[in-house]
Amino acid sequence: MNTVILTINLLSGRKLELVHGDLTVEHVDAIVNAANRYLSHGAGVAGAIQKRGGPTIRQESEAWVRTHGPVSHEAPAYTRAGRLPCRYVIHAVGPVWGDGDEDAKLAAAVTGSLTLADELNLNSVAIPPISTGIFGFPKVRAARIFKDAITAYFEAHPQSGLELVRFTIIDVETLRVFETAWRE
């Protein structure tokens, strides 16, 4: 069972929740996958999503890359969710720490995910801490970028149909880092 640790009511009227739990059991319109450019879902968040969601996600991911090419930071891909309790999986590519311009790339991945959620007419989305695992992005820095990018998105898009953004983290250490950063 996922647990809400912190709720932030944004000035736009939207709600941002920090959640301890499993992204793959979130009952939202879409979850965001921490993807790589080729949507090969091997380990981490991507592996857990594919394992629980089933072969539909892999098949549609491969078709996406064949049709559109590698996924960019700014323009995530999406697939149906297979056996997951959501409707879609938005596949966002975060930066690898050390590749350069990481802050802007992470903010672009967040903004691109929210933009795509709006294009799909979604009301709710759950996001993991993209790039803070094997991609090595410093967690405190990422926490601030996520919060700022989400707040800025809703300020720039007051007509957005998104009402709820859940930031779902399974790892307690990462969760505490985000909670501390978001309470500052």
Q: Give all domains of the chain, ordered by start, each with its CATH number.
A: 3-183 (3.40.220.10)
Residue 161 clears pLDDT 90, i.e. is over it: yes
Q: Among residues of the chain, what percentage have pLDDT more than 70? A: 100
Tell me which of 35-49, 54-68, 103-117 is least confident. 35-49
User: Which residue blocks in the chain are alpha helix, DSSP H?
Assistant: 44-53, 55-68, 102-119, 139-156, 172-183
The one-letter amino acid at 56: T
In the numeric block, the tokens 């089933």 are attached to 54
34 has which bridge partners? 92
Question: What is the residue-averaged pLDDT of the chain?
Answer: 95
pLDDT for residue 44: 81
pLDDT for residue 42: 78
Please count the other Cβ atoms lying within 10 Å of the Cβ belonging to residue 46.
21
Pairing type for strands 164-169 and 124-127 reads: parallel
Q: Torsions phi, psi of 112, nearest 5?
A: -60, -40
